[in-house]
A = this chain, B = another copy of it.
Amino acid sequence: MHHFLEPHKYPGKLFIVEGIDGSGKSTQVQLLKKWLESKGMSVFFTEWNSSDLVKETTKEGKKKKILTPTTFSLLHASDLSSRLYNYIVPPLKAGMVVLADRYVYTAFARDVVRGVHPQWVRKLYNFAVRPDVGFYFRVPLDTAIDRILRARSKIKYYEAGMDIKLSTNIVESFRLFQGKILKEYDGLVKEYGLSVVDATLEIDEQQEIVRGIIEKALEGYSVKRRTYVRRQKVLRRGTAVPTS
């Protein structure tokens, strides 16, 4: 069996971003995607809990509030397993770059705060491909809360960890829950050698740091140009047809 702790052997590259809600990691990964694409790379992007197979089930379970921490954890693992096979491993095999918004570390942090055993959840995800770079966007709790409350009117039930009854007040519960997750992430940074980015910096400052790290990780990587075949055609035809 493949082991998560060993580097993968695919010609492609897997870069992932982690951080609590409001850390700005999704903005950063989108900017990274555009930058890599601007260099002519074929980039695949995938999000936590987004497989067609499992997403609806998790949604249903969340709506009815019938998910225990263990079931929650297993459903997320099913989701990643399905996405790995369908969306992550095939591009990696083909030598492409894959970007993931949240990865196994989200489970290692969140599920453990929900009461799942740290070793159990780590072994559960043994099937996962180890990323080439894992970014952790570290942000103080207050900054994250400000950002979330500015961006939308409501914090969601599970996002606030209301299911584990830390507080009946949703903002207070969010604070306690995300605070515990922050602590778990701090441990994961050391355990898995995540690259920490100070998420209080300006967006472009953070992106510069991210690009620097990715440039290093791409040394020796032979770029798979997504538009290679099409561009040849374009050249032959001698016209400038948009290629995407």
Contact B82 A66 (CB under 8 A): yes
- A56 adjacent to B53 (CB under 8 Å): no
Kindly state the separation between the CA atoms of A68 and B74 in the bound complex, as whole angstroms: 15
Among candidates B1, B77, B78, B85, residue contacting A117 with C-beta atoms closer than 8 Å: B1
* Interchain CB contact under 8 A, B54 and A68: no
**Which of B53, B71, B124 interacts with A71 by CB under 8 Å?**
B53
Chain B residues lying within 8 Å of A56, measured Cβ to Cβ, are 57
Chain B residue with the shortest CB-CB distance to A1: B117
Bound together, the chains give a CA A23 to CA B126 distance in angstroms of 34
**Interface SS majority for chain A:** helix
With contact pairs A60-B53, A78-B74 given, residues A120 and B123 touching in the complex (Cβ less than 8 Å):
yes
A50 at the interface (CB under 8 A from B): no
- In the bound complex, do residue B66 and residue A53 qualify as a contact, i.e. CB atoms below 8 Å apart? yes
A70 and B124 contacting across the interface, CB-CB below 8 Å: no
Interface string of A197-210 (1 = CB under 8 A from B): 00000000000000
This chain: how many copies in the complex? 2
Count A interface residues, CB 8 Å. Answer: 27
Is A189 interfacial (CB 8 A cutoff)?
A: no
Chain B residue contacts of A124, Cβ below 8 A: 74, 123-124
Q: Is A143 an interface residue (CB 8 A)?
A: no
Indicate with 1 or 0, residue by residue over A59-83, a CB within 8 angstroms of chain B CB atoms: 0110000111011001101100110
CA–CA, A6 to B76, complex, Å? Answer: 27
CB distance from A236 to the nearest CB of B (A): 38
CA distance A140 to B67 in the complex (A): 40
What are the interface flags for A120-134 relative to B under an 8 Å C-beta threshold, 1 for contact and 0 otherwise? 100110110000000
Asked if residues A71 and B82 are in contact (CB atoms below 8 Å), the reply is yes
A86 at the interface (CB under 8 A from B): yes
| Chain B neighbourhood of A70, CB < 8 A | 81, 85, 127
Enumerate A18-73 residues with CB–CB distance to B below 8 Å: 53-54, 56-57, 60-61, 66-68, 70-71
Q: Is the CB of B81 within 8 A of A68?
A: yes
Instruction: List, sorted by A's number, 8 A–B pairs whose CB atoms are closer than 8 Å.
Output: A1-B116, A1-B120, A56-B57, A66-B86, A74-B78, A117-B126, A120-B123, A123-B123
Contacts A1-B116, A71-B82, A120-B127 supplied; 9 other A-B pairs, CB < 8 Å: A1-B117, A1-B120, A57-B57, A66-B82, A70-B81, A74-B77, A74-B78, A74-B124, A75-B78
